[in-house]
Amino acid sequence: MLALAGAGLTTLLLPRLTSRALDDGGSLFVELLLTSAALYLCVLAGLCGVVVAAKESPLGPSLELSVTPATWLEGVAGRFAGVLAVLSLHLSLITLVAITVGALETATPSLLAVGLCGVLSQAIVLGATGVLLGSILPQQLAGAGVLLVLVLTRLVPPGSLDGIPGLLAAALPDPAALDLGREVGFQRPIAVHALALAALGGLLQASGYLLGAAGLQRWRATR
């Protein structure tokens, strides 16, 4: 059910995500490919994060971990490493198919590499979000929460709200800051400093989510 919801979400958001592109041809296709791949991987990462964190999931945390030398943080990091492996495999297959059919011929290799790193970085942040939500909520609610967060990050840009709603919006992940589809597709200049800050912010946010998830799982196991 969640997979179907994710597919429907992708279909609904694609027109909005690509509405900026007024040109056509290979450049537009590169932008569309990177943007849609990022959205797909974000949904996949978030749901995988929930699966490896929910206590009712067979892949989730086990109480046996408390009697081993491994810490809860190491357990969370190990399961999240598995999520990263899945994401890397999916992104590699998408890229390989795109190269095979000649869909990336107009893309500069160096810019394409940066764009793919941006795609993976977006998915990492959403994956960590899924781990945190899976540590707080039941699996089904956490999965729905991931999709809700993804929608809010696309529809409520940071700084667009004031007051308490603005503070809540600022706490959301900002994967759009790492979306380089248009820059790669149309070979536009990339603001290196802004990209570096966005990547650093995403890394710190994902690390904070994982630390919070480890603390919650440890607390839950000792109740």
Contact 75, 65 (CB under 8 A): yes
Tell me if 89 is assigned to some domain: yes
Type and span of the H or E element at 156: none
Tell me if 11 is assigned to some domain: no
Give this prediction's pTM.
0.80
pLDDT digits (tens, 9 = 90+) for 103-151: 777 778 888 888 888 899 999 999 999 999 998 888 889 989 998 888 8
Tell me if 117 is assigned to some domain: yes
Q: Return the residue matching tokens 């995403």.
A: 202
Tell me if 9 is assigned to some domain: no
Tell me if 167 is assigned to some domain: yes
What is the total count of domains within the chain? Answer: 1
d(Cα 111, Cα 78) in Å, to the nearest integer?
31
Compute CA 217 distance to the chain's CA centroid, rounded to the nearest angstrom: 22
d(Cα 59, Cα 86) in Å, to the nearest integer?
14
Tell me if 4 is assigned to some domain: no
Contact 49, 134 (CB under 8 A): yes
Expressed as residue numbers, the domain containing 181 is 23-218
pLDDT digits (tens, 9 = 90+) for 141-196: 998 999 888 888 777 666 566 666 666 666 677 777 777 777 787 777 777 787 78
Tell me if 182 is assigned to some domain: yes
d(Cα 44, Cα 87) in Å, to the nearest integer?
8
Structure tokens at 109: 């290799």
Contact 8, 149 (CB under 8 A): no
Tell me if 7 is assigned to some domain: no
**Positive or negative torsion for Cα 2, 124, 198, 94:** negative
Contact 187, 115 (CB under 8 A): no
Phi, psi of 59 (to 5 degrees): -100, 5
